[in-house]
């Protein structure tokens, strides 16, 4: 698929990787509809990009947004499933000083699963439904998983969501084949975004020391993988790890 032929939704596209993807797509001639909860940053996107508030934890929001994007672009043949949040904590932790045992809250579990898995899944469902209803051929879905899908301390909720997205990339590639829709996934390692910039510096430095290429990834590094999935019509049902060779 050529980038210029895309009429594509980017979720979580007001900042970080999503904003970078949207800009690259527009530069290549694609029509792009960006959704995000951050309306201030949405307004700052380059002219020509369709934008509207979207909370992917709301099914009603998703259904409405997909219908709006289809109308705004005069069609729909792509999705970059990028929206995500973090609520990191150990599942069970004992304070070394007080001896108090703390648990990952159900609210933090549900928040991450609601955005990163349920919301992502409903986005795929609604986008593919629209493509099927309009007999759109040659569609593509790109899920944003994470290298954390292999397991990472303090991220039970995030790991669960990202592992499920990688697994369902395979499932959906098989289910959507009759519609001519491919599904791929990118699993970033540590990438320079507002989310990672808020990390504790000591933890950040320790993580970078385990990356053989010796640096944090950039949104452009991930864009190259997304671009490959979109353009390579023989790529389907697989996840690309882009992590600088990170050692766990």
* pLDDT, tens only, 86-97: 999 999 999 999
- Neighbouring-strand partners of residue 47: none
3-class DSSP assignment, residue 32: strand
C-beta separation of 69 from 76 below 8 A: yes
pLDDT score for 217? 94
Share of the chain above pLDDT 70, in %: 99
Full set of structural domains in the chain with CATH? 3-241 (3.40.50.720)
Which burial class, exposed, middle or buried, applies to 19 when counting CB atoms under 10 A from its CB (0-12, 13-18, 19+)? buried
pLDDT score for 204? 80
* For residues 28-38, average pLDDT: 98
- CA torsion 143-50-3-176 (nearest 10°) is 40
d(CA 228, CA 230): 5
pLDDT score for 248? 63
Q: Annotated active-site positions, please?
A: 158
151-179 pLDDT per residue, tens: 999 999 999 999 999 999 999 999 999 99
């Amino acid at each position: 698929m050529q980038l210029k032929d895309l009429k594509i939704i980017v979720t979580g596209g007001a900042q970080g990787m999503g904003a970078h993807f949207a800009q690259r797509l527009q530069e290549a001639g694609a029509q792009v509809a960006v959704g995000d909860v951050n309306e201030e940053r949405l307004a700052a996107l380059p002219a020509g990009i369709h934008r509207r508030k979207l909370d992917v934890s709301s099914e009603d929001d998703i259904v409405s947004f997909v219908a709006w994007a289809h109308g705004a672009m005069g069609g729909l043949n792509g999705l970059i499933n990028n929206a995500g949040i973090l609520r990191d904590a150990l599942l069970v932790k004992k304070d070394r000083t007080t001896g108090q045992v703390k648990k990952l809250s159900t609210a933090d579990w549900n928040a991450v699963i609601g955005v990163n898995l349920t919301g992502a899944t409903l986005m795929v469902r609604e986008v593919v439904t629209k493509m099927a209803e309009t007999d759109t051929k040659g569609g593509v879905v790109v899920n944003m998983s994470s290298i954390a899908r292999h397991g990472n301390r303090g991220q039970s909720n995030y790991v669960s969501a990202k592992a499920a997205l990688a697994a369902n990339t395979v499932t959906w590639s098989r289910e959507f084949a009759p519609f001519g829709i491919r599904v791929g996934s990118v699993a970033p390692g540590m990438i320079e975004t507002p989310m990672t910039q808020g990390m504790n510096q000591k933890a950040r430095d320790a993580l970078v020391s385990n990356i053989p290429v010796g640096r944090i990834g950039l949104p452009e590094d991930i864009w190259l993988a997304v671009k490959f999935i979109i353009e390579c019509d023989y790529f389907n049902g697989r996840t690309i790890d882009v992590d600088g060779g990170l050692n766990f």
